């Protein structure tokens, strides 16, 4: 039985924007990871581990997993804390 996780990816740490964080991702977990003897990289013969499916809503991703009989783990996104800062506060303190 395949196992997958359904989640929304985190925002890129390199930019302050939240682009590409509105889609839900269904990603399969690797069954048998092994080390490549030549380069030392982690590799696998499992082709499902490289596949990521994008969905517009959480319900579509869950329905797809149930329809295909995929065991899944749902990872809910955390709320962002927004701290309002003003540039002028650097000079007032």
Supply the DSSP string of the chain, one letter for each residue.
Answer: --EEEEEPPPPPTTSS--TT-SSEEEEEPPSS-EE-TTT--EE-S-GGGG-EEEESSHHHHHHHHHHTT-EEEE-PPPPPP-----TTHHHH-
Rounded Cα distance, 21 and 10, in Å: 6
Judge whether 26 lies within some domain. yes
**Number of domain units in the chain:** 1
61: alpha, beta or left? (left if phi > 0; alpha if psi -120 to 50)? alpha
**Does the residue 37 lie in any domain?**
no
Per-residue pLDDT of the chain (93 residues; tens, 9 = 90+): 679 999 998 887 777 777 777 899 999 988 777 888 888 887 777 788 888 999 999 999 999 999 999 999 999 988 878 888 888 888 886
Domain with 58 in it: 3-12+21-32+42-92
CATH code, domain with 54 = 3.30.160.190
């Amino acid at each position: 039985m395949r196992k997958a996780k359904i989640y929304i990816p985190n925002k890129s740490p390199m930019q302050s924007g939240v682009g590409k964080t509105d889609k839900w991702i269904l990603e399969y977990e690797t069954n048998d990871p092994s080390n490549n003897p030549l380069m030392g990289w982690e590799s696998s013969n499992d082709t499902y581990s490289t596949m990521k499916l994008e969905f517009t809503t959480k319900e579509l991703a869950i329905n797809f997993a149930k329809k295909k009989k995929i065991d899944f783990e749902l990872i809910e996104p955390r709320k962002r804390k927004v701290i309002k800062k003003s540039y002028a506060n650097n000079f007032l303190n």
